[in-house]
């Protein structure tokens, strides 16, 4: 059995302080080392989704090795099952393959040349962190089954005859223990997004999730079509080669946006392959137009791109495999940068020479970006100097100690910033926050309506300039200082208006901040219901009615009108471990330009009609 020796904390250091962890016990003791964060399913990167991903990755590897083109996934409450139709785990070693660390067929690179999971940990971690875990292997008319609880084998069954097709079935329920996933709940939307990405990266694979079918014929081309929230300026360019596929276009949106993948794995934090693609594209475009003076920022403005590569024995920067660290394509292959650079130079250059209309549109887009950049160059310089002179740490920003991108290049996902309105609200949050991970940015009055403006307004407007500086997003998301940007406004008309103005600002000038899932809305309670023994905070009218019924006759009811009315001691409950956040999401259905035009444009009569027809009256206001 795999084991690890730990020295436990104690005032005395004796033989009793030495513990040996056997089997999967270390995974349960240090789950973050294997799946990143824990969480309860509220966010897409919570551990319960990583567990599912680890199981699916094995099925994807079978498909990529050309064994089985279908995966069936069923979510039943808290229980998930994954059935593939690959070769099935070798039955003699099946129990060891899912329960003994550093055991697995992927150490034999002949069997899995370009696999996602190479460290023999994934399925074992799922087993260890699940209350119940069942594995079945179907091979050549025989079925083998084993049941586990919290990583411990409880029953191993004899081989039996079966008519089932070859493949593997895994069923698991994450452990709801207090030190693990607690009162977790799966969000089907997060699972569907994951499966949709798997389908884009594996054309020909069919995935069924509770009966819904996910498949793709055109790979990354389908991905960009689905994820674009603005019309492409030219038809999406889709280029494929051995072990590489790219797709790209430009839109009229600001910023740049990338989707990157390795061996079918979505590397949400990029890595060497994404950086190489970004650099190679800029260099290729400068050479194609023979314009060495072109600024890379102009070439990349509005760029939307996706890249998928296959690497032999990839090296990731964490067990959750969201950032590629490999510098080489394989033991005997070229560097990742050279492989991608050669492909992009050759294929993009050829494409533009053959498609002159696309070439002309791209050139005009780059020229337009250059003109705008030069037009605001003076304003930009002054704004940067002004941001440096203003004492952010004393006036606008109460910073935290750790940031999303720290000096070691690691991502600190707990880091967040609250954007508040006025001194009273920011004061309550500032006094009750966790200074290690939670920062506060205080707005002065209502933000400017930036709809229809150029990026010049970001630098001319004091609030926007300082907010951009605080987030460190002027040059893109690589320097983003906080994983979660949380809009915290009052639950009234003015608060909703400020929220809309901030969302307009982000959607206009930093849409990738929204599309990458960094923007959240803080939910704070509308009511406090209490008696002498108990206090309950209610976020909806239904919760208020339930609390009144539960607490008995004549409880005291307080209606919170603004964040400033909530004391710092109470606020700790709302921004601590039980914080309620609504993530702002975008998809192709959300046509950003049309949305902003309707809600923030000059069509006042239309908007008034909409408001009247959809008005919800708060009885407490009558």
Q: Which of 356, 375, 394 is the C-terminal boundary of a domain?
A: 375
Least confident of 321-325, 419-423, 528-532: 321-325
- For helices 356-375 and 377-389, the axis angle rounded to 10 degrees is 50
* Same domain flag for 203 and 224: no
Q: Quick one: pLDDT at residue 341?
A: 95
Q: Quick one: pLDDT at residue 291?
A: 85
* Same domain flag for 443 and 588: yes
Residue 269 lies in a domain: yes
Q: What is the rounded CA–CA span in Å between residue 545 and residue 467?
A: 39
* Same domain flag for 99 and 135: yes
- Strands (E) located in 310-403: 397-398
What's the mean pLDDT when you consider all of the chain? 84
Residue 250 structural domain: 220-375
Q: What CATH number is associated with residue 392?
A: 3.40.50.670
Under the banding of pLDDT at 50, 70 and 90, the label for residue 548 is very high
Q: Quick one: pLDDT at residue 490?
A: 84
* Same domain flag for 542 and 584: no
- Strands (E) located in 106-211: 130-139, 142-149, 152-156, 160-161, 167-174, 206-209
* Same domain flag for 617 and 492: yes
With contact defined as beta carbons under 8 Å apart, do 410 and 420 qualify? no
Under the banding of pLDDT at 50, 70 and 90, the label for residue 121 is low
**Does pTM top 0.85 for this prediction?**
no
Q: Which of 96, 102, 105 is nearest to 62 (CA)?
A: 105
Under the banding of pLDDT at 50, 70 and 90, the label for residue 391 is low
- Number of helices and strands (H, E) in the chain? 21, 25
Q: Quick one: pLDDT at residue 589?
A: 60
* Same domain flag for 320 and 425: no
Q: What CATH number is associated with residue 106?
A: 3.30.565.10
Q: Reduced to 3 states, what is the DSSP secondary structure of residue 549?
A: helix
Q: Which of 243, 241, 232, 278 is nearest to 259 (CA)?
A: 278
Percent of the chain scored above 90 by pLDDT? 45
Residue 603 lies in a domain: yes
Q: What average pLDDT does this structure show over 425-444?
A: 89
Under the banding of pLDDT at 50, 70 and 90, the label for residue 412 is confident
* Same domain flag for 349 and 232: yes
Residue 12 lies in a domain: no
Q: What is the rounded CA–CA span in Å between residue 513 and residue 540?
A: 29
Under the banding of pLDDT at 50, 70 and 90, the label for residue 564 is confident
Residue 2 lies in a domain: no
Residues 308-319 pLDDT 10s: 998 887 877 765
Q: What is the rounded CA–CA span in Å between residue 87 and residue 381?
A: 61
Residues 161-191 pLDDT 10s: 999 999 999 999 999 987 888 889 999 989 9
Residues 189-215 pLDDT 10s: 899 989 999 999 888 999 999 999 999
With contact defined as beta carbons under 8 Å apart, do 433 and 575 qualify? yes
Residues 30-57 pLDDT 10s: 777 777 778 888 878 788 998 999 899 8
* Same domain flag for 148 and 274: no
With contact defined as beta carbons under 8 Å apart, do 312 and 113 qualify? yes
* Same domain flag for 308 and 456: no
* Same domain flag for 281 and 394: no
CB atoms within 10 A of CB 584: 19
Q: Domain count for the chain, please give it.
A: 4
Residues 570-609 pLDDT 10s: 888 889 878 888 888 876 666 666 667 666 766 667 766 7
* Same domain flag for 239 and 165: no
Between 562 and 420, the more confident residue is: 420
Residue 6 lies in a domain: no
Q: Quick one: pLDDT at residue 326?
A: 78
Q: What is the rounded CA–CA span in Å between residue 493 and residue 501?
A: 12
Residue 337 lies in a domain: yes
- For helices 592-600 and 493-509, the axis angle rounded to 10 degrees is 140
Q: Which of 214, 242, 258 is the C-terminal boundary of a domain?
A: 214
Residue 201 lies in a domain: yes
Q: What CATH number is associated with residue 284?
A: 3.30.230.10
Q: Which of 170, 190, 214 is the C-terminal boundary of a domain?
A: 214
Residue 420 lies in a domain: yes
* Same domain flag for 80 and 34: yes
Q: Quick one: pLDDT at residue 3?
A: 47
Give the angle 602-253-374 at the CA atoms, nearest 5°. 95
């Amino acid at each position: 059995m795999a084991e690890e020796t730990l020295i436990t904390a104690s005032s005395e250091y004796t033989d009793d302080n030495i513990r040996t962890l056997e089997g999967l016990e270390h995974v349960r003791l240090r789950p973050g080392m294997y799946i990143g964060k824990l969480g309860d399913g509220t966010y897409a990167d919570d551990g319960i989704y990583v567990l599912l991903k680890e199981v699916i990755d094995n099925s994807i590897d079978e498909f990529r090795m050309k064994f089985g083109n279908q995966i069936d996934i069923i979510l039943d409450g808290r229980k998930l099952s994954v059935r593939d139709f690959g070769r099935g785990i070798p039955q003699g070693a099946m129990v060891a393959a899912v329960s003994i660390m550093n055991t697995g067929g992927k150490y034999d690179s002949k069997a899995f040349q370009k696999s996602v999971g190479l460290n023999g940990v994934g399925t074992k971690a799922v087993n260890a962190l699940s209350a119940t875990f069942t594995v079945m292997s179907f091979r050549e008319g025989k079925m083998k089954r084993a049941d586990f609880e919290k990583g411990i084998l409880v029953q191993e069954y004899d081989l039996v005859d079966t008519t089932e097709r070859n493949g593997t079935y895994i069923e698991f329920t994450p452990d709801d223990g207090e030190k693990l996933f607690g009162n977790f709940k799966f969000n089907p939307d997060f699972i569907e997004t994951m499966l949709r990405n798997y389908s884009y990266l594996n054309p020909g694979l069919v995935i069924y999730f509770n009966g819904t079918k996910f498949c793709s014929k055109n790979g990354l081309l389908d991905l960009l079509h689905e994820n674009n929230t603005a019309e492409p300026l030219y038809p999406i360019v889709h280029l494929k080669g051995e072990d590489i596929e790219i797709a790209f276009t430009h839109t009229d949106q600001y910023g740049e946006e990338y989707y990157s993948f390795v061996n079918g794995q979505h590397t949400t934090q990029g890595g060497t392959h994404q950086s190489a693609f970004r650099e190679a594209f800029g260099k290729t475009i400068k050479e194609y137009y023979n314009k060495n003076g072109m600024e890379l920022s102009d070439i990349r403005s509005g760029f939307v791109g996706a890249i998928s590569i296959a690497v032999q024995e990839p090296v990731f920067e964490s067990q959750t495999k969201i950032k590629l660290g490999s510098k080489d394509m394989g033991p005997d292959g070229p560097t990742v940068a050279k492989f991608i650079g050669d492909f992009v130079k050759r294929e993009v250059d050829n494409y533009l020479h053959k498609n002159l209309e696309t070439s002309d549109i791209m050139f005009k887009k780059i020229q337009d970006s250059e003109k705008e950049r030069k037009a605001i160059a003076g304003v930009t310089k002054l704004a940067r100097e002004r941001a440096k002179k203003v004492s952010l740490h004393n006036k606008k920003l109460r910073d935290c100690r750790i940031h999303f991108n720290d000096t070691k290049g690691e991502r600190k996902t707990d880091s967040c910033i609250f954007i508040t309105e006025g001194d009273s609200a920011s004061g309550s949050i500032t006094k009750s926050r966790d200074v290690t991970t939670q920062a506060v940015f205080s707005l002065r009055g209502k933000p400017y309506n930036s709809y229809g403006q150029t990026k010049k307004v970001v630098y001319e407007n004091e609030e926007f300039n300082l907010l951009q500086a605080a987030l460190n997003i002027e040059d893109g998301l690589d320097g983003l200082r906080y994983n979660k940007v949380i809009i915290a406004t009052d639950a009234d008309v003015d608060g909703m208006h400020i929220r809309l103005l901030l969302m307009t600002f982000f959607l206009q000038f930093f849409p990738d901040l929204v599309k990458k899932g960094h923007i959240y809305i803080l939910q704070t309670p509308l009511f406090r219901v209490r008696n002498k023994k108990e206090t309950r905070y209610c976020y909806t009218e239904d919760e208020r009615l339930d609390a009144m019924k539960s607490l008995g006759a004549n409880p005291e009811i307080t209606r919170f009108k603004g964040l400033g009315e909530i004391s710092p001691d109470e606020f700790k409950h709302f921004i601590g471990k039980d914080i309620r956040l609504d993530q702002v999401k975008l998809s192709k259905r959300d046509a950003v330009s049309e949305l902003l035009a309707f809600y923030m444009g000059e069509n006042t009569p239309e908007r008034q009609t909409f408001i009247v027809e959809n008005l919800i009256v708060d009885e407490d206001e009558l």
